[in-house]
């Protein structure tokens, strides 16, 4: 496997083009006093785009990104970008942490030092990790897939090959959003290599076997399934188009930075524990760094394809199929709908379950200390 150091460097011509496009944004109108009810709020978006055009400094963010050790590897013919930060402790264990959509590797910036150097942050150095944060294929600085079938199972195989190429025979896996699906698939396909799986999200396509031999649904399970249907009807528009017509969506989002920002930032507001004010949880610079990565790499359409590929191969368990490696779950309260433990235990060997006090979908950004502490606690018993 070919591995080399990688430096993020965006050409000035791309920055100039972005600024020109932002300056010529053609704005839609809005029904007065509707705020975010119809989607991304016009006042907020015009302010954010103006900040992006006149005050956001990509070069500052680029330097911060490059302060971490970045690499690119050719894994089974696919170029994969990843961060690889070694732990500081007597016996760090490796852990591969996978981001989701509409996030990127920058989601993990606050989490990484808490895991690699716990002593510096008031925790036990014996809980240190070697942290590997890859960019999913079709996201960020990884290659955009050129063939069908780049689903979570295929990505899990790539991660297994990457970890083997880095010299790690045994490792943990962690993830939220798509990362939860990849970590699950990794544990299913490579149980001899995976020490344990820690999730702060239950994969959306997860369906345990509910055949004739399965026990009946509990009240909590029935309530969850009802909530999931209601959520899909009221909040799932993005999900439906991305899983059916991602290419069509891509023409607009790949051409309009304002449209791209609206599509992504609306989700950061809706899915986080922000009380309706997205900047209670994320600064403009954090939001725009993430959006800018999608813009400069032209990966919004390729990232959306993962929804299409998952529809072709969802995480549906056959009779008797289970994730047998130990699994830890961290439920952040604004991550909803979230299944009850008995639903998860139909397919996962749950040995650890935490109900968090606060936080939402972007746990590594919103509550990195809480997430890091839970990861440490779960893996401590598996060292």
Q: Work out whether strand 323-331 and strand 194-199 pair parallel, antiparallel, or are unpaired.
A: parallel
The whole-angstrom separation of Cα 131 and Cα 123 is 16
16, 70 in Cβ contact below 8 A? Answer: no
129, 93 in Cβ contact below 8 A? Answer: yes
62-68 contact pairs (CB < 8 A, 24+): 62/8, 62/9, 62/10, 64/109, 65/8, 65/106, 65/289, 66/7, 66/8, 68/109, 68/112
Q: Which position among 41, 117, 127, 177 bears the catalytic label?
A: 177
Which phi-psi region, left, alpha or beta, contains residue 253 (left: φ > 0; alpha: ψ -120 to 50)? Answer: alpha
Q: Which position among 41, 130, 361, 374 bears the catalytic label?
A: 361
Q: Which residues contact 277 (CB under 8 A, 6 or more apart)?
A: 269
198, 330 in Cβ contact below 8 A? Answer: yes
| 361 a catalytic residue | yes
Q: Which position among 206, 238, 307, 348 bears the catalytic label?
A: 307
CA distances from 59 to 33, 133, 291 (A): 37, 22, 15
Q: Which residues contact 282 (CB under 8 A, 6 or more apart)?
A: 268, 272, 274, 362, 365
Which residue numbers are catalytic?
177, 307, 361
């Amino acid at each position: 496997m070919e591995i080399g150091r990688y430096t993020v460097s965006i050409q000035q011509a791309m920055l100039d083009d972005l600024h020109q496009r932002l300056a010529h944004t053609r704005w839609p109108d809005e029904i007065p006093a509707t705020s975010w009810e119809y989607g991304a709020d016009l006042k907020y978006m015009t302010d954010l785009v103006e900040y992006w055009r006149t005050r956001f400094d990509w070069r500052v963010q680029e330097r911060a990104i490059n302060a971490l050790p970045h690499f690119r590897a050719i894994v089974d013919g696919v170029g994969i970008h990843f961060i690889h930060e070694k732990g500081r402790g007597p016996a760090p264990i490796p852990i591969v942490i996978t981001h989701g959509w509409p996030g990127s590797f920058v989601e993990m910036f606050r989490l990484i030092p808490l895991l690699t150097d716990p002593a510096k942050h008031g925790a036990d150095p014996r809980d240190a990790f070697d942290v590997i944060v890859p960019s999913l294929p079709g996201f960020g600085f990884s290659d955009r897939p050129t063939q069908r079938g780049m689903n979570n199972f295929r990505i899990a195989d790539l991660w297994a090959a990457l970890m083997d190429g880095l010299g790690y025979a045994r490792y943990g896996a962690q993830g939220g959003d798509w990362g939860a699906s990849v970590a699950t698939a990794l544990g299913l396909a490579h149980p001899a290599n995976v020490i344990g799986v820690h999730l702060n999200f239950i994969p959306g396509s997860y369906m345990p076997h509910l055949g004739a031999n399965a026990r009946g649904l509990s009240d909590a399970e029935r309530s969850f399934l009802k909530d999931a249907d209601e959520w899909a009807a009221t909040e799932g528009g993005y999900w439906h188009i991305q899983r059916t017509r991602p290419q069509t969506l891509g023409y607009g989002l790949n051409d309009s930075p304002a449209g791209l920002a609206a599509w992504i930032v609306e989700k950061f507001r809706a899915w986080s524990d922000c009380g309706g004010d997205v900047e209670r949880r994320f600064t403009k610079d954090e939001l725009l760094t993430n959006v800018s990565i999608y813009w400069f790499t032209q990966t919004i359409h390729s990232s959306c394809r993962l929804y299409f590929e998952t529809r072709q191969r969802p995480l549906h368990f056959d009779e008797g199929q289970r994730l047998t490696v130990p699994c830890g779950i961290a439920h952040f309260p604004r991550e909803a709908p979230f299944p009850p433990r008995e639903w998860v235990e139909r397919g996962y060997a749950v040995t650890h379950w935490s109900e968090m006090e606060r936080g939402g979908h972007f746990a590594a950004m919103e509550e990195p200390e809480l997430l890091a502490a839970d990861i440490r606690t779960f893996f401590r018993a598996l060292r």
